[in-house]
Amino acid sequence: MTMSKLTFIHTADLHLDSPFKGLHSLPSSIYERMKESTFHSLHNIVSLAVEKKVDFVLIAGDLFHSEERSLRAQIKLHNELIRLKDHHIDCFIIHGNHDPLDGYWVNLEWPENVHIFGEETSFKPYYKNGKLMAHLYGFSYPTKRVTDNRTQEYVKKEGPDFHIGMLHGNVQGASDHEAYAPFKVEQLLEKQFDYWALGHIHKRQVLTSEPPILYPGNIQGLSKKETGEKGCYLVELEKKRTRLTFQNTAEIIWKKVEVPIDGLTSFSELYSCCEEVIEGIRSDHYGVMATLMFTGSGTMDDFLQNDQEIEDLIVSLRDGEERKKDFIWIAEWKVETNPDWDREELKHSELFAGDIVRLSEQYEDKDIDEALNPLFHHRRARHFISKLSTSEKQELIRDAEKLLLNSLLKERT
């Protein structure tokens, strides 16, 4: 007896036609590739679906970056869905907070292989070779703000071998995201579905493996905060096991890379170290927007504190990259180096500098929130600043510590 099996692609958060604000100063060739990158990634996903001969594709919300969808983005999506149709591949779609049903639409006729969920939670059947194989459950956002927990609306309807839930929402505990359609993992497990195709959170993560409940992340990093490979999951679903294979489809990757200065004693050595680090992340498959993180301690710290010197270094490292398909563009750099002093030694000393190190390690998120509270509630300033993530708060502490230590220890020398 042949075991039932489904093969499909789970993707989400396409953000087609993302404007990539703040990147206009890039060389035109790189900026144009960046503007086209979401479309390229979608094209790669469809090509993967065709190559692997999947049964269907799941898109779990935020197909478009804005409720005001551009005509061009809609046509691009339409053409890719036609490619799926030509290869007899179905596509199941829910809309999220960025592209709710009440947004702007051009009246394009979607091909018959496309199944779009409405604002009411419902199920759609999937047949394979005439046999009912799966029920897919989901809903689309009617407006951009859906803040209710709607998991109780997912009701399992018996009949097929597989039950697959689609949900664009925020898992409890993900504090860096707004609580759209919030849910708890336990609530999804109670449904006894075979797979949950989530969307909304741009960082790839598997919440549970039995059954698979996961976010594939977005298909293209939209800023320096969205680092690493982006794409989709190729899923082989059987009753006894599920195989999940992540597939990178992004045209451009954002990466943070460290340049340690420990032991470097000259500009020539520093430059060679930078070149080696850069070549180490070059790929035949995508371009890279890199953040160089200068770390460690040593004599080159003094050079890196000179803004003009480091800008000249970056310009030299960028030279010619805009003409390469496998470009590596240094989009940003951060200097987190120290002079030749030992932080751990200071931490255990009786010096005032030691007090600073110990105090910085005791600082918690709530202390930073309290210190910044007047700024975030300022009548004018609050409109121009956004909530800080935990990592950004920790970076503020490190920067403050370094400023104080450099000032104190330079006075001693």
CA distance 172 to 296: 37
Residue 235: helix, strand or coil by DSSP? strand
Question: Exposed e or buried b for every residue in 43-64, given b needs 16+ CB within 10 A?
Answer: bbbbebbeebebbbbbbbbbbb
**Range list of H helices, 306-364:** 307-318, 343-347, 352-362
Predicted pLDDT of residue 177: 65
Integer Cα distance of 391 and 310 in angstroms: 25
Of 147-161, 180-194, 332-346, which gets the smallest average pLDDT?
332-346
Tell me how many domains the chain contains. 3
Pair 214, 144 in one domain: yes
Q: In this structure, are 288 and 163 located in the same domain?
A: no
Contact 76, 38 (CB under 8 A): no
Structural domain of 386? 345-413
What CATH number is associated with residue 223? 3.60.21.10
Structural domain ending residue among the three candidates 196, 222, 248: 248
**Residue 151 token pair:** 């998991």
Helix (H) / strand (E) containing 93: strand 90-94
Residue-wise DSSP of 240-255: S-EEEEEEE--SEEEE
- pLDDT of 8 above 60: yes
Q: Which amino acid is at 333?
A: W
- Mind listing the pLDDT tens digit for each residue in 74-98? 999 999 999 999 999 999 999 999 9
pLDDT at 403: 78
End-to-end CA, the chain: 81
Confidence of residue 174 (pLDDT cuts 50, 70, 90): low
Shared-domain flag, residues 209 and 107: yes
Let me know whether 169 and 278 are in one domain: no
Indicate whether 298 and 244 sit together in one domain: no
- Position 52 confidence tier, pLDDT thresholds 50, 70, 90: very high
Pick the last residue of a domain from 220, 248, 276: 248
The interaxial angle of helices 28-52 and 71-86, nearest 10 deg, is: 30
Per residue in 361-398, pLDDT (tens digit) is 888 777 788 888 888 888 787 777 777 878 788 878 87
Q: Specify whether 314 is located in the same domain as 262.
A: yes
* pLDDT score for 176: 64
Residues 259-280 have pLDDT tens digits of: 999 999 999 999 999 999 999 9
Q: Is the pLDDT of residue 410 over 80?
A: no
What CA–CA distance (Å, rounded) separates 319 from 278?
Answer: 13
According to DSSP, the residues that pair with 287 across neighbouring strands are 252
Q: Mark whether 279 and 385 lie in a shared domain.
A: no
For residue 1, pLDDT over 60 is answered with: no
Tokens found for residue 200: 């909304």
| Distance in angstroms (rounded) separating the CA atoms of residues 68 and 100 | 10
Mean pLDDT of 139-151: 93
Measured distance CA(261)–CA(255) in Å, rounded: 19
**pLDDT band at 243, cuts 50/70/90?**
very high
Average predicted confidence (pLDDT) for the chain:
91
Asked if the model's pLDDT at residue 167 lies above 80, the reply is yes
233 and 303 inside one domain: no
Task: Kindly tell me if the per-residue pLDDT of 412 is higher than 60.
Answer: no
Same domain, 308 and 382: no
The mean per-residue pLDDT over the stretch 320-345 comes to 89
355: confidence class by pLDDT, cuts 50, 70, 90: confident
Among 278, 307, 340, the domain-final residue is 340
For residues 280 and 356, state if they share a domain. Answer: no
Strands 205-209 and 212-215: antiparallel
pLDDT interval class at 334 (50, 70, 90): very high
Peptide bond into 374 cis (omega under 30): no
Note the pLDDT of residue 103: 81
**Percentage of residues of the chain with pLDDT beyond 70:** 97
133 & 77 share domain:
yes
Does 238 share its domain with 278? no
